[in-house]
Amino acid sequence: MKKIFALLALAVLPLTAMAHGPSPQKVDKSVTIKAEPAQVWAMVKDFGNMHKWHPNVASTKVEKKGDDTLRTLTLKSGGTSKEKLRDADDQSMKMRYEIVEGSLPVADFNAFMTVKPGPNAGETTVQWVARFYRVYKLNPPIPEGQDDESALKAATELVDAGLEGLKKTLESK
Amino acid sequence: MNSKNLIAGCFIALLTLSRPGLANDYAYITNQGSHDVSVIDLGSNKVIATIAVGKGPVGVSVSAAIQRVFVSNVESQSISVIDSASNVMLDEIQLSGSPVAVAISPNGDTLYVADWYQDSVIAISTQDSKQQRKVSIGKAPAGLAISPDGKTLYVSNRDSDDIGVIDTASMTVTSRIPVGAHPFGISISPDGQHLYAVNVHEDSVSVIGLATGETHKIQVGTRPYCAAISPDSKTVFVTNTQDDSVSVIDAASRKLITTIETGGFPEGIDFDKVSQRVYVASWSDDAVTVIDASTHKIVDTIKTGQQSRAFGRFILNGQD
């Protein structure tokens, strides 16, 4: 009898093996740029001009809603991303923002970018950290394109391309 | 700094280093991204061991009574059992659902697990993990807190915006208390008088008088997650994940005392009564921020594993 139960348990296991609520996903990337920190920070905190340095962004539209500053990015891939500035602190050279809505396959996306002196004089290190969940918040089965992998891929592409674009733009100045 | 101050400073440093009592005071920090637990020696604030556990560890609960630490592995759907005397993993209990919070009874006999896949709470015997009892609860049960006498278990039902009250002897739900939107971390004051439930989507903490049933709300920072309470039950510390800060609240007046900047995305928080310090897991910094509970100053930052969460009571005092 015990053996039968063990067999039954084994048979049931694969069905539930992937079952869990979503875990937050993380992207944490840094780049060193040959430019002064103040110059880099000026570009990073300029919330309405992301298209000037991000290769995936076609245009940026800024709007004020009460105390909130929002931007809508039109992506070269076709979609949009509506984002809210949470704060940009000149002292610590750190800016925080979140995605309000948009076409990227992520949920509850919030991120920060920090600008710090780099390893050598005249260099700057920019760090971009994002936290987010997959789109599908419930338990499996997870619809295609709404899983952890899709969310992680989209956010990684956004950050990688952005840091590369920031470096390119500032170093060609 | 003049020499007098320097000497005084060194003396204070020595005092804080030489802790009263014996060793074996540890913090067990679950690292969701590196699938391990960082064991911090609270005497030196150094990581003295890193223990591999299951996948995606989040929840943690410690028991001085049976010298065990329990860790919930969300992605491998299991509980890792660690021996706190040797800091070695002893066992992994496989579950059919997906565990979030874990809480151990004060006597160490029973481990409670919030299973947010099956919307239930499981009671597991720590003597024999096959002995399990289960009760259905609200949607997406997340946080757990147990009364000091072990008779009542509270569970935050994240997607039903309430707290389930469970009688542990019969494992039945005796009532449900409405709180704010999306309650996650919950904690009971050591005097057993109040339950604090952190409402993530409302930037508030609900305070429930457990004898009176009276409830109040306190505004805190953005997307708060967890609360820790001082041993005298007078001060409440709440992590604000999207402000990178901890709100310090006076329990009697329910007023904000101050806000302390911490590492990025602070999640789990616990109070070390021996050193009178608050330990905060920083998810985005892969670190633990250490706060002096009386001066509200950061006294240390300790590097841990990846994506530290430490959701639950993670500080073990050896002399308890």
What's residue B11's pLDDT?
Answer: 46
pLDDT band at B68, cuts 50/70/90? very high
Interface contacts A/B by beta carbons within 8 Å: 50
Q: What is the pLDDT of residues A19-48, one digit of tens each?
A: 345 789 999 999 999 999 999 999 999 999
* A interface test, pick of B73, B93, B98 with most A CB neighbours within 10 Å: B98
- Inter-residue contact A33 to A173 (CB < 8 Å): no
Contact residues on chain B for A20, CB-CB shorter than 8 A:
56, 74-75, 77, 98, 117
pLDDT band at B300, cuts 50/70/90? very high
- Inter-residue contact B54 to B92 (CB < 8 Å): yes
Closest-approach residue (CA) in chain A for B97: A19
When CB atoms are compared, the residue of B32, B56, B117 closest to A139 is: B117
pLDDT band at A9, cuts 50/70/90? very low
pLDDT at position B7 over 70: no
- B75 part of a folded domain: yes
- B1 part of a folded domain: no
Mean pLDDT of B43-51: 97
Contact residues on chain B for A21, CB-CB shorter than 8 A:
74, 98, 100, 116-117, 140
Parallel/antiparallel/unpaired status of strands B287-292 and A94-102: unpaired
pLDDT band at A10, cuts 50/70/90? very low
How many domains is chain B partitioned into structurally? 1
What's residue B270's pLDDT?
Answer: 98
pLDDT band at B297, cuts 50/70/90? very high
What's residue A137's pLDDT?
Answer: 79
- B192 part of a folded domain: yes
Closest-approach residue (CA) in chain B for A138: B117
What's residue B23's pLDDT?
Answer: 55
What's residue B18's pLDDT?
Answer: 43
Q: What is the pLDDT of residues B229-249, one digit of tens each?
A: 999 999 999 999 999 999 999
Range of the domain at B188: 22-316
When CB atoms are compared, the residue of B56, B77, B100 closest to A19 is: B77
What's residue B116's pLDDT?
Answer: 87
- Interface residues of A toward B, Cβ cutoff 8 Å, are 12-13, 16-17, 19-21, 23-24, 26, 28, 86, 96, 98, 110, 112, 129, 131, 139
Beta strands in B86-151 (DSSP E): 88-94, 99-104, 110-115, 120-125, 132-136, 141-146
DSSP summary character for residue B200: G
Q: What is the pLDDT of residues B179-228, one digit of tens each?
A: 999 999 999 999 999 999 999 999 999 999 999 999 999 999 999 999 99
Bridge partner residues of B200 (DSSP): none
Alpha-carbon dihedral B230, B232, B236, B239, rounded to 10 degrees: 10
Q: Where are the domains of chain A?
A: 20-171
End-to-end CA distance of chain A: 76
pTM: 0.86
Q: What is the pLDDT of residues A113-162, one digit of tens each?
A: 999 999 999 999 999 999 999 998 777 788 999 999 999 999 999 999 99
- Inter-residue contact B259 to B245 (CB < 8 Å): yes
- B74 part of a folded domain: yes
CATH number at residue B66: 2.130.10.10
What's residue A91's pLDDT?
Answer: 96
Q: What amino acid is encoded at B106 in this protein?
A: P
- B13 part of a folded domain: no
Mean pLDDT of B126-150: 96
In the block, residue with structure tokens 């499996």: A140
- How far apart CA A55 and CA A51 sit, in angstroms, is 7
Q: What amino acid is encoded at A69 in this protein?
A: T
When CB atoms are compared, the residue of B96, B100, B307 closest to A26 is: B307
- Inter-residue contact B159 to B140 (CB < 8 Å): yes
Mean pLDDT of B300-315: 98
**Predicted complex ipTM:** 0.76
- How far apart CA B120 and CA B71 sit, in angstroms, is 18
In the block, residue with structure tokens 């937050």: A24
Q: Would the CB atoms of A129 and B75 count as touching at under 8 Å?
A: no
- Inter-residue contact B70 to B81 (CB < 8 Å): yes
What's residue A73's pLDDT?
Answer: 98
pLDDT at position B111 over 50: yes
DSSP string, A93-147: TEEEEEEEEESSS-EEEEEEEEEEE-SSTT-EEEEEEEEEE-S--SSSSPPTT-S
What's residue A13's pLDDT?
Answer: 40
CATH class of A20-171: alpha beta
What's residue A21's pLDDT?
Answer: 54
Q: Would the CB atoms of A16 and B140 count as touching at under 8 Å?
A: no
